[in-house]
Amino acid sequence: MKNINHFQLITVIFFLLLFSCEKKNEIKSIEKNLARIGNKTISVNEFIRRAEYTIRPPYCSRDNYIHKKVALNSLIAEKLLALEAGANNELIQNKEFQAYLRGRKEQTMRQLLYNNVAYKKVVLDTNDVKKKYILAGREYKSSYISFDDSNRVNIFVDELKKTGMSFEKLFQNIFGVEQIPKKNVKWNDQNEPVIHDALFSEPLKVGQLIGPIRSEDGRFLLMKIKGWDNHVAISNQDIKTRWNDVSDKLRKKYAAEIYSKFAANVMKEKEVNFSRDTFYKLVEIVAPHYLKSAQETKEEFNNVFWNKEITPDSIETNIEELISYPLLQIDGEVWTVEKFRNELRAHPLVFRKRRFSKKEFPEQYKLAIVDLIRDKYLAEKAYQMGYDKATVVERNTKMWEENFLSLYQKNKYLSSFDIKDKNYIKVIKEYLDDYVDSLQVVYNDKIEINTDEFEKIKLTNIDMFVVQKNVPFPIMMPGFPLLTTDNKLDYGKKVID
């Protein structure tokens, strides 16, 4: 049984699949509606993503018809609770929530911008694909050393050249450890692009030294090729799958290069100038928060997510002292600390390095702020191109809004009971099943279900928790709504195409 109260990361997918139904150069795209609940809708794609890209509870986690109906009832229930919450409640009026929704919307707009100005523009060279295809079957066996800074790796490389000592022997002499770390690397492994390119751009030789490679977390990697196994694609399906995988990786690589140039052009002649005094005062306040251990961060997230009581945020208290101070200037505009804080609510910082020391923090913090500013200008470009009106943007923003509204209404309803049991399935069966049933009756005349499309949908029973890399909001889909265990579609109007 899966515990939904703790995110169980089974499968991670790094590519956004929001644009599958969009025709080239169209802002508005047509998606088939699976259900209509008043003025709210659930498209076929939304149903599949919400059911497949999140961890479903055990009472609807399988791929059978009964569980599929529970999943649909749960998503319809989410819309019903959002309707009950109304359009003028305290959550909707909350400025932080409004900023969050704007951030979600603008992130999708930037992704659509990337899709249209970069990804779609890539034209692959068949010869390039063939070249990489030949290497894609290799699984390299390597020994490697990881260094904290460039000085240490340079010293090691110099010693290799000077002494003529073997890679392994020098490692043993310097680090005093007999066993050098080993790693097997395949084409399909989720490695950083810089590591992937170093291994799979050209044929390598046994004994060849690769690097130093600077990784995303700022460490420096030296690798020695010990050999490789060649996994040959034999069947037509294997050949096709490998060809498509190679093509996809190359397309993403070239798209990233195109988009980087596009962003550079948008930011042309825009220079960010920081107020040194304010910046370092701010760094002193926020550094402890960003440098927390992984366990502390996880506990804090759980406290916020499950509405547990936490102590007042000392960061906010201390920042108030700087609120009117100028932090930076960009394109003739002065950003005070207050303006920066407001922008953070719509765009949490994304650090270029995953790990960094306290000494490195000021520079990494500055780079993250610069990236926030770049994303703001890219979002403005997307607004100019009308992407805020794109179907995928409107649907995605509404999906997140209605998810939070349903949670708001759920908590409001449950707060009227003195609930002792913390077993969420018991809570659903004892309190929420009847509540959702009553809403199905109230809104019965406003509910339509496309039964023809519903019958076509096939769900898997594979758990996935889908996240995206290098974006302010990495969680791709709202958590599956824990609202009902009902498996009967005995309400609403059945619509058949």
Shared domain for 370 and 411, answered yes or no, is no
Q: Are residues 202 and 280 in the same domain?
A: no
In tens, the pLDDT along 133-188 reads 999 999 999 888 888 777 888 888 888 888 878 888 888 777 777 778 888 988 88
Q: Strand, coil or helix: what is 102?
A: helix
Q: Which of 350, 384, 418 is the last residue of a domain?
A: 384
- State whether 352 and 445 are in the same domain: no
Residue 2: pLDDT over 50: no
- Please give the pLDDT value at position 317: 63
Question: Does residue 11 lie in a domain region?
Answer: no
47 within domain boundaries:
yes
Quote the CA–CA distance of 130 and 384 in Å, as a whole number: 39
- Residue 455: domain span: 33-109+393-495
The CATH number of the domain where 154 resides is what? 3.10.50.40
| Residue 16 pLDDT exceeds 80 | no
Q: What are 36's two structure tokens?
A: 């209509």
Total count of domains within the chain: 3
Residues 380 and 400 grouped into a single domain: no
The token pair that represents 12 in the structure block: 């991670």
Task: Compute the mean pLDDT over every residue in the chain, rounded to the nearest whole number.
Answer: 86
The structure tokens listed for 67 are 């569980």
Instruction: Tell me if 376 is assigned to some domain.
Output: yes
In angstroms, the CA 401 to CA 362 distance is: 34
Q: Which pTM does this prediction carry?
A: 0.84
What would the mean pLDDT of 431-438 be, rounded to a whole number? Answer: 97
> Within a domain: residue 142?
yes
Residue range 215-242, pLDDT digits in tens:
777 778 888 899 999 888 899 999 999 9
Question: From CA 10, how far away is CA 32, in angstroms rounded?
Answer: 29
Q: Work out the number of other CB atoms within 10 angstroms of the CB of residue 397.
A: 20
454 with 483, same domain?
Answer: yes
**Residue 28 covered by a domain:** no
Shared domain check, 221 and 145: yes
* Residue 340 domain-assigned (yes or no): yes
Residues 375 and 426 in one domain: no
Q: Quick check: 242 and 133 in contact, CB under 8 A?
A: yes
In a shared domain, residues 279 and 378: yes
Report the candidate in 375, 385, 108 with the shortest Cα–Cα distance to residue 267.
375
Q: Are residues 413 and 377 in the same domain?
A: no
Contact 25, 441 (CB under 8 A): no
**Residue 341: predicted pLDDT:** 93
CA 457, 461, 465, 466 torsion-angle sign: negative
Torsion of CA 186, 190, 193, 194, to 10 degrees: -70
Q: Are strands 138-147 and 182-186 parallel, antiparallel or unpaired?
A: antiparallel
Both 285 and 380 in a single domain?
Answer: yes
Backbone angles phi, psi at 107, to 5 degrees: -65, -45
Note the pLDDT tens digit of each residue in 305-321. 444 433 334 456 678 88
Token code pair at residue 398? 């509404």
231-245, 411-425, 435-449, 455-469: least confidently modelled range: 455-469
Which DSSP string do the residues of 71-93 spell out, in sequence order? HHHHHHHHHHHHHHH-SSSHHHH
- Using one digit for the tens of pLDDT, what is the confidence trace for 31-88? 899 999 999 999 999 999 999 999 999 999 999 999 999 999 999 999 999 999 998 8
Boundary-marking domain end, from 367, 384, 401: 384
- Same domain for 380 and 315: yes
Residue 64 lies in a domain: yes
Q: Which of 384, 415, 432 is the last residue of a domain?
A: 384
In contact, 206 and 225? CB cutoff 8 Å:
yes
- Kindly state whether residues 280 and 379 are assigned to the same domain: yes
- Domain for residue 242, yes or no? no
